[in-house]
């Protein structure tokens, strides 16, 4: 009998999107993200970047990994009225829809969808289908004028090929010139962080890394807010992935270079890098 058959958790199985979805559907995580959506709202750095890079309040925006709607409702409060958001954790989608209804945000549509498989969702399929149209016709007009994937959500997708798929789907859904805003960690951001990664690089070189991790740069940890999978890229990786998926890099900066955040925001989230690109 294997450890899984005996009911004990498998401590060596690779992390998959199912692992991440289950972690976000866990009641501890749902309470954490729902509280932030209700009480915290946008970080100051998010507000500055959104208003700078999405100047048109009438733009049709697509927000990936919306969670319980913290950024979604923040966009609504800033005056954006044509918002489509999605998340693959159904418990969080339920919370986001509930919050949108409470705030009278009728212009927000929230889908239950996986960023790496958007072509399987009826709302996006027509724009992402690989199949040629049955009869010759003009390709459908991309339905969005801009896309966001905030608070490092894109980096919670295990496997670089899957993160690339998500970025490519967002690109295919946006018109040329559309802005993209994402955040990630940056494992090279400081001398201190670079030093912390040296022993991890040695573990990978020797094959002694946590067997659940998919790639170097991955972390999987547990704290009072639940279990978290996170890929921590370096700057070169994100520049390459944007270019490979049709996004032209325009700007990136660490959060502390953009704004000084409140204590509440710093308690909720640590340092990250903001990335702005446009659909090439």
Question: What minimum distance in Å lies between the beta carbon of 113 and ligand SAM?
Answer: 6
The residue among 146, 178, 159 whose CA lies nearest residue 71 is 146
Per the listing, tokens 């308690």 go with 267
Bridge partners of 121? none
Answer whether 67's CB lies under 8 Å from 26's CB: no
3-state secondary structure of 143: coil
Query: Is residue 242 at the binding interface for ligand SAM, with CB under 6 A as the rule?
Result: no
The residue among 94, 79, 86 whose CA lies nearest residue 120 is 86
What is the DSSP-derived secondary structure letter of residue 219?
Answer: E
Question: What minimum distance in Å lies between the beta carbon of 222 and ligand SAM?
Answer: 15
What are all long-range contacts of 216-220, with beta carbons under 8 Å and residues at least 24 apart? 217/187, 218/15, 218/158, 220/15
Question: Judged by CB, which is closer to ligand SAM: 33, or 124?
Answer: 33
Question: What minimum distance in Å lies between the beta carbon of 29 and ligand SAM?
Answer: 8
User: Which residue is nearest to ligand SAM, using beta carbons?
Assistant: 67
Question: Judged by CB, which is closer to ligand SAM: 26, or 203?
Answer: 26
Question: Judged by CB, which is closer to ligand SAM: 59, or 68?
Answer: 68
The residue within the footprint of ligand SAM, chosen from 15, 33, 179, 217 (CB under 6 A), is 33
Backbone angles phi, psi at 161, to 5 degrees: -65, -30
Question: What minimum distance in Å lies between the beta carbon of 33 and ligand SAM?
Answer: 5
The DSSP code sequence of 59-92 is -EEEEES-TTTHHHHHHHHHT--EEEEEES-HHH
Query: Is residue 92 at the binding interface for ligand SAM, with CB under 6 A as the rule?
Result: yes
Query: Is residue 85 at the binding interface for ligand SAM, with CB under 6 A as the rule?
Result: no
Question: Judged by CB, which is closer to ligand SAM: 132, or 161?
Answer: 161
> What is the C-alpha to C-alpha distance for residues 99 and 81, in angstroms, rounded to an integer?
15
Answer whether 151's CB lies under 8 Å from 43's CB: no
The residue within the footprint of ligand SAM, chosen from 151, 247, 274, 275 (CB under 6 A), is 151
Per the listing, tokens 């992935």 go with 241
How many of the chain's residues bind ligand SAM (CB under 6 A)? 24
Query: Is residue 156 at the binding interface for ligand SAM, with CB under 6 A as the rule?
Result: yes
**Pattern 109-148, ligand SAM, x by CB under 6 A:** -----xxx--------------------------------
Question: What minimum distance in Å lies between the beta carbon of 119 and ligand SAM?
Answer: 13
Answer whether 149's CB lies under 8 Å from 182's CB: yes
> What is the C-alpha to C-alpha distance for residues 129 and 162, in angstroms, rounded to an integer?
17
The residue within the footprint of ligand SAM, chosen from 73, 83, 100, 157 (CB under 6 A), is 157
- Residues of this chain that interact with ligand SAM (CB under 6 A) are 17, 20, 24, 33, 36, 64-67, 70-71, 87-89, 92, 114-116, 150-153, 156-157
């Amino acid at each position: 009998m294997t450890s899984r058959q005996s009911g004990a958790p498998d401590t060596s199985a690779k992390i998959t999107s199912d692992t991440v979805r289950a972690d976000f559907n866990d009641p501890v995580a749902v309470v954490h993200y729902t509280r932030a959506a209700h009480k915290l709202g946008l970080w100051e750095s998010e507000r500055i970047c959104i208003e700078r890079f999405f100047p048109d309040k009438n733009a049709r925006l697509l927000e990936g990994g919306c969670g319980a709607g913290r950024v979604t409702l923040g966009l609504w409060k800033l005056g954006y009225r044509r918002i489509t958001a999605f998340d693959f954790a159904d418990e969080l989608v339920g919370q986001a829809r509930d919050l949108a209804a409470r705030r009278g945000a009728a212009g927000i549509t929230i889908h239950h969808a996986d960023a790496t498989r958007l072509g399987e969702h009826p709302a996006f399929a027509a724009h992402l289908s690989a199949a040629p149209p049955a009869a010759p016709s003009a390709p459908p007009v991309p339905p969005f004028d801009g896309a966001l994937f905030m608070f490092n959500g894109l980096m919670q997708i295990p496997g670089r090929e899957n993160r690339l798929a998500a970025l490519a789907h967002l690109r295919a859904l946006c018109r040329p010139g559309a802005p993209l805003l994402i955040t990630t960690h940056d494992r090279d951001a400081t001398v201190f962080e670079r030093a912390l990664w040296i022993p991890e690089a040695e573990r990978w070189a020797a094959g002694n890394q946590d067997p659940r991790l998919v790639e170097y740069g991955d972390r999987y940890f547990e704290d009072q807010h639940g279990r978290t999978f996170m890929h921590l890229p370096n700057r070169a990786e994100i520049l390459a992935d944007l270019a490979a998926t049709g996004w032209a890099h325009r700007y990136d900066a660490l959060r502390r270079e953009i704004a000084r955040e409140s204590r509440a925001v710093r308690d909720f989230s640590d340092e990250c890098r903001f990335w702005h690109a446009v659909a090439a």
